Every structure is written in C-alpha cells, then in structure tokens.
A and B are shown apart, each in its own frame.
Chain A
Amino acid sequence: GQNIDQPTEMTATEGAIVQINCTYQTSGFNGLFWYQQHAGEAPTFLSYNVLDGLEEKGRFSSFLSRSKGYSYLLLKELQMKDSASYLCAVTGFQKLVFGTGTRLLVSP
C-alpha cells in the first residue's frame, strides 16, 4: 500500500520562505511530484524528483531523500498568489497517488 503524509495547513507572510514537508511509505517508488492547486481549479505541475537531492526551479525548490521517504517543497520570496494547496504525489507500481495536500495561506 501507499501512505503519504503532509501537514494540513501552514501560514506565512509575504516575502518569507516556507518549507512544506511530505513523508511517504510505499511498496514501490519511481518518483515524487509536487503540484499546486488553487481553490476550485485543477492541479498544476511544479516539480519532479527521482534521485536524491535538490531540484531548483525559480522561487520553488524540491528535495528528495529516498532512504528516509521524505521530500520537501521550498517556496522563497512568497507572494500573495502563492496562497494555494500544495500536493505531494508518488508514482509506484504503475499508478500516481497523492497525499492529503497542504493548504498554504500567505498574509501581507
């Protein structure tokens, strides 16, 4: 089976840095994705990690440790538009499974 855990909600202020953690326990693992989802909309792809280490893409970075079953998404220079849900997802055994998602609220 697969179990993917994320904090339910986080708050941060504009301009700050926030780290959203994801831990997973899966019987098969190919890679880990992060998606952003604004309320009532479809998720959009942010990042993908298949090897251990940090992947940087502009203000967003994602880290993976396969031995620890752990990933985080780092958002820098937060903007109000970053208020959204952030979904961690794992591929393994031919399917893509999502975590519960973390709702991020950015305040002025």
Chain B
Amino acid sequence: DGGITQSPKYLFRKEGQNVTLSCEQNLNHDAMYWYRQDPGQGLRLIYYSQIVNDFQKGDIAEGYSVSREKKESFPLTVTSAQKNPTAFYLCASSIDTVNTEAFFGQGTRLTVV
C-alpha cells in the first residue's frame, strides 16, 4: 500500500543528544514537510522540501537539520541546540507544494529527559 511512514512512534533521548526521526513515502511525491506540534497547539513548519536535493527553512528551523538525498526519504535531526525538543513531530508529503493535499505520517512523539 502507498503511504507515508514515520518511525519510531515514541522516542526517548537524554538531554544533549542528537536524534534523527525517519520519514519515508512511496507515493512518488515531490514535496515533503516536517512540522512540530506542542500540546493543544497547531502545526508549526520546521523544514520543507520541494524536490530531491533541495530544502528550505520553515518558521522554526533553529536547532533542527534535514536532508533530501532521495525522493522518498526526508529525515529530521533534532540537535542539542534545540532548547525545548520534547514535542509531537509530524512528517507530510504532497505531489507539489502548490495546490495538492498533504498526506501525513502517524507522527513521532519525542521526549527528552
């Protein structure tokens, strides 16, 4: 089945460690996105990519990094520079970044202790 997969669903890390969240899609979508969601809040855009080998900062990119070496993969690294990394992270993809709906993965809940 086609879809978008995030792993793991729950992730625990110690403060000061970098951690990488996986996002894979087999929908042949060009565009991919990473969002952060805090309790009771909306989605805030971290990074987005319109096409392979290209990505742009969103509204809250500080402390995060991404890569887009393959069309189907868009991993997000939460670095130790991110001051408050505990949150629900959502990855999404769409055919393009203009007028097509985004499909979301099931999310990764990251807890930093």
Contact = CB atoms under 8 A, between A and B. Distances in A.
Chains A and B come from one and the same complex: yes
Interface of A: 6, 30-31, 33, 40-45, 48, 50, 87, 89, 91, 94-101, 103
A30 B94 CA distance: 14
A6 B42 CA distance: 10
Across the A-B interface, the 7 shortest Cβ-Cβ residue pairs: A42-B104, A100-B42, A98-B43, A101-B42, A94-B97, A45-B101, A30-B98
A96 B102 CA distance: 9
A94 B102 contact: no
Contacts of B104: 42-44
Interface size grouping (class) on chain B: 20 to 34
Contacts, number: 64
Contacts of A91: 97-99
Contact of A99 (B42, B98, B107): B42
Interface of B: 33, 35, 40-45, 48, 50, 56, 58-59, 88, 90, 92, 94, 97-99, 101-107
A87 B78 CA distance: 25
Given A31-B99, A33-B101, A43-B90, A95 B45 contact: yes
Given A95-B45, A99-B42, A42 B101 contact: no
A94 B106 contact: no
Nearest to A33: B101
Looking at chain A's contact residues, is the secondary structure mostly helix, strand, loop, or mixed? strand
B59 A97 contact: yes
A101 to B, nearest CB: 4
B35 A98 contact: yes
A95 B56 contact: yes
A67 B91 CA distance: 31
B40 A103 contact: yes
Given A43-B90, A95-B33, 5 more contacts: A41-B106, A45-B101, A94-B48, A96-B94, A96-B102
B99 A42 contact: no
